[in-house]
Amino acid sequence: MSHWLALAIAIIAEVIGTTALKASNEFTRLIPSLIVVVGYGTAFYFMSISMRVLPVGIMYAIWSGMGIVLISVLGWLVFRQTLDMPAIIGLAFIIAGVIIINVFSKTVGH
């Protein structure tokens, strides 16, 4: 399996787990709570696969950065949470950072 595909699966699983965390209502609802556990377990498993090739710091920066952006967008779409201009600018900086790492860093195996 490609380390990039593994990282993408890890990001998606983390986003699903974190979205379910909001829906779990502090782990008082069973199904969303189970989704949290499975989501994070899946995320960590696929992160470990991507670490076979990617340095841990780079992998974690991409995983957490993209997770933050995707969770923020889902919070806006699903939970109707607002994003003000400073939040949007900050999210744009996160995206720019991930792009810079992937395009210019020599530590990332392309």
* The pLDDT of residue 108 is above 80: no
Which pLDDT does position 109 carry in this prediction?
60
Provide the whole-model pTM.
0.88
Between CA 59 and CA 7 the distance in angstroms is 8
pLDDT (tens digit, 9 = 90+) per residue, 11-55? 999 999 999 998 899 999 999 999 999 999 999 999 999 999 999
